[in-house]
Amino acid sequence: MKIVAYGIRDDERPFLDQWSKENPDVEVVGKSELLDDQTVADAKGADGIVVYQQKPYTASVINKLGEYGIKFMSLRNVGIDNIDWPAIKANDIQVTNVPAYSPEAIGEYTVTTLMMLLRHARQFIRKESQGNFKWAPDIADELNQMTVGVYATGKIGRAAINIYRGFGAKVIAYDIYRNPELDAEGIYVDTPEELYAQSDVISLHAPATAENEHMLNDQAFANMKDGVWILNPARGTLIDTDALIRALDSGKVAGAGLDVYEDEVGIFNSDFGSFDAIPDERLKDLMKRENVIVTPHIAFYTKRAVKNMVYYAMDANKDLFETGKSDKLVQVD
Give the residue numbers annotated as catalytic, written as ranges.
235, 264, 297
Give the residue among 280, 202, 269 at the shortest CA–CA distance from 234. Answer: 202
Helix, strand, coil percentages, rounded to 5, for the chain: 40, 15, 45
Q: Based on the number of CB atoms within 10 Å of its own CB, is 67 exposed (0-12), middle (13-18) or buried (19 or more)? A: exposed
Neighbours of 295 (CB within 10 A): 16
- Cα separation, 255 vs 163, in Å, equals 20
- Cα separation, 330 vs 307, in Å, equals 21
263 contact partners, CB below 8 Å, separation of at least 6: 236, 241, 280, 282, 283
285 contact partners, CB below 8 Å, separation of at least 6: 245
Query: With contact defined as beta carbons under 8 Å apart, do 332 and 304 qualify?
Result: no
- Cα separation, 217 vs 330, in Å, equals 30
**Distant-in-sequence contacts of 107-111, Cβ < 8 A, 24+ apart:** 107/156, 107/159, 107/160, 107/161, 107/162, 107/163, 108/159, 108/163, 109/233, 109/259, 109/298, 109/299, 110/160, 110/163, 110/203, 110/231, 110/233, 110/257, 110/259, 110/299, 111/160, 111/163, 111/164, 111/167
Beta bridge partners, 151, equal 174, 204
